[in-house]
Amino acid sequence: EIGDKKWEANMLHNVAQTCLRLKDFDRALKAVTESCTILDDLGEQGDRATTLQTAVGVLMGKGDGRAALEVAGEIRRICKDIGKRSREASAMLLESSIHHGVGNSDKAVDLAMEAQGIFQQVNDKKGEGMAWSFISEVRKSTGQKDEALRASRTTQALYQQAGDKKGQAYAMKTSTALFVAQSSDDEAVRAAHEALALARASGDVRAEVEMLNLVAQATLNAIIKHTADLGDAEAVVYIVKHEDRATRSAREAAALARKLGDKQMTAIATYSVAQCHTVGGRTAASCQAATEARELFSKTWDRQGEALALLLLAESTALDGKMEQGRKLASEAEAMFRELKDDASIAKAVRTLEAMDELMGSSGPVPSTRTSSAPSAAPAAARPAPKAGLSLEKARALAREVAMDAIGGDVDDVLTLDDPLMDVGLDSLAAISFREALSQKSGIPLPASLVFDYPSLHALAMHLVEASEC
């Protein structure tokens, strides 16, 4: 009978985990509560602590951080009572993650440091690495990039001492993200390749898929940042030379994920393939890959991924010259983001729709990509006469005004003259809309590569002043 009861508790735990994945939080909470009650009656406190971790995930999903903290504290007490020091420290990291999730970063770091101390006492190098990895994530989220990078390097060293190559790979993945945040793009690419080498050495194919995707994303980021300082012709040459590296990694990731039969990982890798095609100017191929990614995300019930793939499909469709169809898809993506209450993605979808609306009202053709042969400026009949002799002050004000309209959102107080325009939202269709509007208001013909050739408000204003005097 005891065996039957324990089997029942395990089955209820499985039900709870399935319901949690499906975001059916009420059913998940009911099942996990019943499982924990049975395990408590049986005196199986170790198994109960494990099951309570699922309860924490359910409560966080319901948005009840206070209750989640209480349960995490109970897990910690159980592990301490049964003398499992490493599990006690792991429970402290769970508490730390909840504090971080509800915005209490200082408490999160304090608990993580305390957990690190316990791991060190019991000579658990992997546990120490986990603690420092979490500290790195918290530091990164609070803008302490240097401290985050130091913590990440400590993580790598500890995993190396433990002989855990997979752990090293994921620590290097964190470093890659930090290098990107610091605009150290070449370092980010190097770190991504090192993470891939470590993942392959570990023999973990899933980790290899993740790191292949990381290489693709880091390479794409470096290409976009590098070409921002180049003219159109030079940028095309650079993209042609380097973009294939990202595409190869993304395709290899997708192929490996398919072999594993993992639809979610395949969807993520296929989404990266679509992004690579977009950067390479292959909008039809991007549409095909984005469509496939969307279907895969749908099969895994990942609404967020599905919406992101749909928005990428919308942009690629519009850039391929099918503006009406692209607008319809972007509207669908916006509706999905609103259902998900994803404010950042809602804003991006709205900017995409606004850019499409402006382009649909323009008399000029829609440039499909940066590599297209579209006209370098709006038709002369659609532009007012140039404003002779723009002052630098007026040029800055005009550029800022039009940039704010194109970007949208509440960034007025943080957009400085030296901020890279692409980093604050002026990318893809928004950049096209920005160029069209600025050309209309200034009466000055502007190149299609405007935000690449003049990547900041200061550089752009200087160009407007020079052009107005011609």
pLDDT tens, 428-457? 556 666 776 787 777 777 765 566 566 677
State the number of CA atoms in the 13 A half-sphere of 53 facing the CB.
17
Q: Measure the CA dihedral 141/145/146/147, to 10°.
A: 0
- Token pair 């749908």 in the structure block, residue: 298
Residue ranges, the chain, pLDDT below 50? 363-388, 409-413
H or E element in which residue 237 lies: helix 232-260
Query: What per-residue confidence (pLDDT) applies to 210?
Result: 94
> How far lies 207's CA from each of 10, 21, 271, 333, in Å?
28, 21, 18, 30
Are residues 332 and 294 in contact, defined by beta-carbon separation less than 8 angstroms? no
248: exposed, middle or buried (Cβ count in 10 Å: 0-12, 13-18, 19+): middle
CA distance 456 to 450: 10
Q: What amino acid occupies position 67?
A: A
Query: What per-residue confidence (pLDDT) applies to 242?
Result: 83
CA distance 372 to 324: 20
CB burial readout 368-399, b (16+ within 10 A) else e: bbbbeeeeebbeeeebeebeeebeeebbbebb
Whole-model pTM?
0.65
- CA–centroid distance for 319 within its chain: 23
Domains, the chain = 164-284 (1.25.40.10), 387-468 (1.10.1200.10)
Are residues 445 and 377 in contact, defined by beta-carbon separation less than 8 angstroms? yes
% of the chain residues with pLDDT over 70: 84
